[in-house]
């Protein structure tokens, strides 16, 4: 039984009404607060709030009549009371934490509701993985809603994941409680081209009245964009420009503005509201991907709201974008997202609406965060052994598997090569054409041109497949390698390095640990984050995961990489549904043309 089970409003409505009248005692009364009302976008001073059955019962000037002998009293000391934050689009797996540990990390930052798409877990472990994520999520002391992943794998036919989901799988899961809808429809080209499986998934979602998540990363706002919207997705978080935000909002698609560990897409889009004057109710804030270090040291949705305010958004508007706008979008406005009678008693006390210090956090009327510390009760699962044996690679990996041979007859020339070019703080890549030298019969990276090797090691079926290519933008110098079993979205092992020997050492370390991230330099291990659950998650305390990740980041800097959160860029190098060029277990892929390309340009 979930500890956060809350009775439906209609069941407790008679009691809430009696509490509001003063004929029944409240469980908790908060006195002397400034009520931040996101329904009306105003601040109401000298307010008292009464709570019963985990819901708000009374919001008014004086709640003395709601106090009984057993009522707890909390003096708000004139602070602002704001609704608990909602993250409209995110992946728990990006935190590298189980749902319980993720809750521990974010609740002290004021997040009381997550709308999570577990498609990372689904790509590795299929329905079993989704069920385990769901089963642990509903046990936690905050609201965690899941979406059923829509694209597993993200681009069928062009990559192989550890599992596949079909329309029947979606239909069998979509109508469960705490399933809020269909996860981001990542195969945007499939929607545009009328893929029957994708439209079948969207149809079963609409039939049960739930929301279809969107994912349109293309800059093309022409007919393809219109076709995608007409297909059914209701929101999108992939915009990076003001015009992206405007065009989505104009056509009834909720515009989600994203600030993750590596994605900084709020500043350029929020001007649609702050300068162009569009209705802010159509705009929502989200994180998408935040790792454990960001969560612990920078914050979660509180960080996003602060950033939106720094970008010129009025504080109350920014708060709406992180609360009531999100709840309304998912059909939950009568359940959460505001401090209003009948809604779940999820709230924050803060002394400032711009700096947003998070002093106290309550969910369901129970305290879960205080002065940056988690004070609730976690209920973790005992994850089965099979979830910790998912790195299936023919071992050991040998350095010669990363050798790149030139085309026949080109043993001592310069070759024009397709190279993946990363873009700092954004998910898209650039398709680069760079001349690389052939040395001793092998094509090599070039430190002066900021080009190193990338390899994808298939890890689900022990096929022995290793796909090699080149990547530019990390700035690595000397002999090093970074390997990870996080590799969106199929989550094969991604190895990037300047030294084939170090690449082999890093890959073999992850086989030994059953997943994670490791950095090697000059033949020595310099960093390791162990992620034994599906090669994606850890059930260790967030502080331990964050500490290991920070050490690894520092070692990346020591290897010459100064990009903001470059590891997140590393994990997306195989994400075939975001332009322009990626790597899969089948080859080098031109996303824009939806076709594989030769590594070397003829």
Angle between helices 99-106 and 542-558 (to 10 degrees): 80
Q: DSSP class of residue 406?
A: P
pLDDT at 276: 98
pTM: 0.95
Q: Tell me the CATH number for domain 84-335.
A: 3.20.20.140
Contact assessment for residue 185 and residue 233, using Cβ atoms and an 8 Å cutoff: yes
pLDDT in tens, 20-62: 999 999 999 999 999 999 999 999 999 999 999 999 999 999 9
Whether the predicted pLDDT of 5 surpasses 80: no
Average of per-residue pLDDT across 289-310? 97
Secondary element (H or E) of residue 231: helix 223-231
pLDDT at 4: 62
Average of per-residue pLDDT across 169-195? 96
pLDDT at 386: 94
pLDDT in tens, 359-389: 999 999 999 999 999 999 999 999 999 999 9
Residue 177, judged by CB atoms within 10 A of its CB (0-12, 13-18, 19+), counts as exposed
> 3 pLDDT band (50/70/90 cuts)?
low
- Determine the straight-line distance between the first and last CA of the chain, rounded to whole angstroms: 62
Average of per-residue pLDDT across 223-249? 98
pLDDT at 23: 98
Rounded CA-CA distance 135/138 in Å is 6
Q: DSSP class of residue 133?
A: H
pLDDT in tens, 73-116: 999 999 999 999 999 999 999 999 999 999 999 999 999 999 99
Average of per-residue pLDDT across 161-176? 96
List the one residue out of 313, 314, 372, 366 whose CA is nearest residue 344. 366
List the one residue out of 329, 458, 346, 357 whose CA is nearest residue 401. 458
Whether the predicted pLDDT of 2 surpasses 60: no
Rounded CA-CA distance 313/306 in Å is 9
595-597 sheet: strands from edge to edge: 581-584, 587-590, 595-597
Rounded CA-CA distance 512/30 in Å is 53
Rounded CA-CA distance 529/544 in Å is 9
Whether the predicted pLDDT of 1 surpasses 50: no
Round the average pLDDT of the chain to a whole number and report it: 96
List the domain boundaries for the chain.
84-335, 386-597
């Amino acid at each position: 039984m979930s500890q956060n089970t809350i009775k439906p409003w209609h069941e407790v409505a008679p009691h809430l009404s009696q509490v509001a009248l003063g004929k029944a005692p409240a469980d908790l009364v908060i006195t002397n607060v400034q009520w931040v009302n996101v329904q009306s976008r105003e601040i109401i001073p000298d307010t008292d709030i009464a709570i019963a059955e985990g819901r708000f019962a009374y919001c008014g000037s004086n709640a003395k009549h709601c106090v009984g002998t057993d009522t707890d009293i909390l003096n708000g000391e004139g602070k602002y009371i704001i609704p608990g934050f909602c993250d409209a689009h995110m992946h728990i797996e990006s935190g590298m934490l189980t749902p319980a540990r993720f809750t521990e990390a974010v609740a002290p930052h004021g997040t009381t509701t997550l709308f999570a798409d577990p498609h990372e877990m689904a790509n590795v472990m299929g329905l079993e993985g989704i069920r385990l994520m769901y089963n642990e999520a509903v046990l936690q002391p905050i609201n965690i809603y899941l979406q059923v992943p829509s694209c597993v794998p993200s681009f069928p036919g062009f990559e192989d994941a550890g599992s596949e989901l079909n329309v029947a799988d979606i239909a069998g899961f979509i109508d469960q409680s705490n399933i809020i809808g269909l996860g981001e429809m990542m195969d945007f080209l499939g929607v545009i081209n009328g893929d029957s499986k994708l439209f079948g998934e969207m149809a079963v979602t609409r039939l049960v009245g739930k929301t279809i998540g969107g994912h349109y990363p293309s800059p093309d706002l022409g007919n393809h964009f219109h076709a995608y919207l007409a297909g059914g997705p209701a929101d999108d978080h992939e915009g990076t420009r003001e015009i992206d935000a405007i065009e989505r909002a104009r056509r009834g698609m909720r515009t989600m503005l994203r600030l993750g560990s590596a994605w900084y897409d709020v500043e350029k889009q929020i001007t649609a509201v702050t300068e162009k004057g569009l209705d802010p109710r159509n705009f929502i804030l989200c994180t998408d991907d935040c790792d454990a270090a960001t969560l612990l040291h920078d914050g979660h949705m509180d960080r996003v709201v602060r950033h939106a305010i720094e970008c010129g958004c009025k504080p109350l508007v920014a708060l709406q974008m992180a609360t009531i706008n999100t709840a309304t979008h998912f059909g939950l406005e009568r359940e959460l997202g505001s401090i209003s009678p009948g809604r779940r008693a999820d709230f924050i006390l803060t002394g400032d609406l711009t700096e947003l210090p998070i002093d106290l956090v309550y969910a369901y009327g129970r305290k879960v965060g205080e002065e940056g510390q988690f004070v609730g009760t976690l209920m973790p699962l005992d994850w089965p052994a099979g979830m910790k044996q998912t790195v299936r690679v023919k071992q050991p990996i040998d350095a010669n598997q990363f050798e790149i041979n030139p085309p026949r007859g080109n043993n001592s020339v310069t070759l024009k090569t397709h190279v993946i070019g990363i873009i700092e703080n954004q998910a898209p890549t650039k398709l680069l054409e760079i001349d690389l030298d052939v040395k001793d019969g092998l094509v090599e990276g070039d430190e002066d041109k900021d080009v190193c090797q990338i390899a994808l090691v298939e890890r689900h079926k022990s096929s022995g497949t290793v796909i090699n290519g080149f990547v530019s933008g990390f700035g690595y110098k000397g002999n090093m390698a970074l390997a990870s079993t996080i590799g969106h979205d199929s989550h094969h092992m991604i190895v990037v390095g300047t030294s084939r020997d170090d690449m082999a050492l890093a890959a073999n370390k992850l086989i030994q640990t059953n997943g994670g991230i490791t950095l090697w330099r000059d033949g020595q291990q310099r960093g390791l984050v162990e992620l034994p659950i599906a090669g994606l998650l850890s059930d260790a305390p967030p502080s331990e995961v964050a500490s290991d990740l920070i050490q690894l980041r520092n070692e990346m800097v020591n290897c010459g990489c100064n990009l903001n959160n470059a590891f997140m860029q590393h994990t997306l190098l195989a994400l075939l549904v975001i332009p322009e060029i990626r790597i899969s277990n089948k080859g080098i892929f031109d996303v824009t043309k939806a076709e594989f390309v030769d590594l070397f340009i003829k």
